[in-house]
Amino acid sequence: MLSCRIHAKEDLRVEADAIPEAGPGEVLLKLGAGGICGSDLHYYFEGRNGSFVVREPLVPGHEASGVIAAVGAGVTRVKPGDKVAVSPSHACGACDYCREGREQLCRKMRFLGSASVFPHTQGMFREYFVMGERQCYPVAGDVSLGELAFAEPLAVALHAVNRGGDLLGKSVLVTGAGTIGCLTVMAARLAGAASITVTDVLERPLAQARSVGADATLLAGSGPALPDAAFDVAFEVSGNFNALKSAVAAAKRGAVIVQVGTLPHEPLPFVVNDIMAKELDLRGAFRWGIEFDWAVRYLASRRVDVRPLLSGQFPLTDAVAAFHAAADKRRSTKVQVVAV
């Protein structure tokens, strides 16, 4: 079998490995599709993701679906042949945050495909991998493995919308029209937003956002400015500081701003008085908890139809080409690798 490993900045190798075996309570999965996410791109193009540095070969990939190839002793949740979405979140289940129902804040989190801990938590860009059965969410029906691999980013968007509070009847701003921005548009529509405006610095992502339900789009930087004090809830998804500043200016008094994207890891000059004088609620949204379960259901029923967001699939052997395609926002929204 083949595994994709990032050894260092721009050093990604597709390597031969032995197929692992599932122990008690575990399953062996064959990769269905694996979505390339911003963090995977940071690891590949920079050798780091913010403060998480690649210090040993890292298998990237935390957005994946698969087919159960074999099950270990005692497994009851899935059987061979099942099509599943795979949750990359291994929260401890025992700490104060987990017990409060906020597993994304777990004190002992292991998240697949991440260099946040050492040894690194290896990800899912490999032909076969072993998981605990509880990580697997079996799905019936004709939903494709490519669609199922959207469960993780859709969960991010659903969690962001949850952090934004009640959206029914509200005017919503989303800054950033990549995969998470577009999924946030879809999640905000589900939640009853009355109007959704999206900004991005490129035209193609804005067209993509319109295709999944944005009511208005605006080219940031070169186009007309956002209206002042126009939005009840803003989602800053781009991870761009100028976008956050524009969201603060465009927020109504009493608005909620949710920071979803990762900003550069450095101190930023910020006019906090706007937050004070407008009584803004500035909130973070980090990964997800129960929203992963919801995401799988929305995908399985196609109440959220993510097919327009899938720009391309590459065999694992062409992972380098896949990473370059994923990084080119003029061409791609979501790019996936698939087993050969």
- In this complex, which beta carbon is closest to Zn ion, that of residue 91 or of residue 300? 91
Site for Zn ion in 84-113 (CB under 5 A): 91-92, 95, 98, 106
Residue 183 CB, shortest distance to Zn ion, in Å, is 10
- In this complex, which beta carbon is closest to Zn ion, that of residue 89 or of residue 246? 89
Cis peptide bond N-terminal to 119, omega within 30: yes
User: Two tokens at 276?
Assistant: 């004070």
**220 lies in the site for Zn ion, by CB under 5 A:** no
- Residue nearest to Zn ion as judged by C-beta position: 37
- Helix, strand, coil percentages (3-state) for the chain, rounded to 5, are 30, 30, 40
- In this complex, which beta carbon is closest to Zn ion, that of residue 34 or of residue 75? 34
Following CA atoms 77, 89, 241, 228 in sequence, which dihedral angle do they give, to the nearest 10 degrees?
40
- In this complex, which beta carbon is closest to Zn ion, that of residue 91 or of residue 280? 91
Residue 109 CB, shortest distance to Zn ion, in Å, is 7
Q: How far apart are CA 159 and CA 136, in angstroms?
A: 20
Look up residue 110 and give its amino acid: R
Residue 73 CB, shortest distance to Zn ion, in Å, is 27
- In this complex, which beta carbon is closest to Zn ion, that of residue 91 or of residue 250? 91
Measuring CA to CA, how many Å separate 185 from each of 118, 160, 219, 259? 36, 11, 16, 15
**Residue 303: partners with Cβ closer than 8 Å, 6 or more residues away:** 190, 297
Following CA atoms 262, 225, 198, 260 in sequence, which dihedral angle do they give, to the nearest 10 degrees?
20
Residue 37 CB, shortest distance to Zn ion, in Å, is 3
- In this complex, which beta carbon is closest to Zn ion, that of residue 101 or of residue 267? 101
- In this complex, which beta carbon is closest to Zn ion, that of residue 36 or of residue 191? 36
User: Two tokens at 123?
Assistant: 């990800």
Look up residue 155 and give its amino acid: A
Q: Give the number of residues in contact with Zn ion, rule: CB under 5 A.
A: 6
Question: 120, 101, 161, 133: which is closest to 29 by C-alpha?
Answer: 133
Helix (H) or strand (E) holding 154: helix 151-164
Q: How far apart are CA 295 and CA 308, in angstroms?
A: 17
Residue 12 CB, shortest distance to Zn ion, in Å, is 17
C-alpha neighbours within 13 Å on the C-beta side of residue 260: 37
Residue 102 CB, shortest distance to Zn ion, in Å, is 9
Residue 267 CB, shortest distance to Zn ion, in Å, is 26
Binding mask 24-63 for Zn ion (x = CB under 5 A): -------------x--------------------------
Q: Which residues bind Zn ion (CB under 5 A)?
A: 37, 91-92, 95, 98, 106
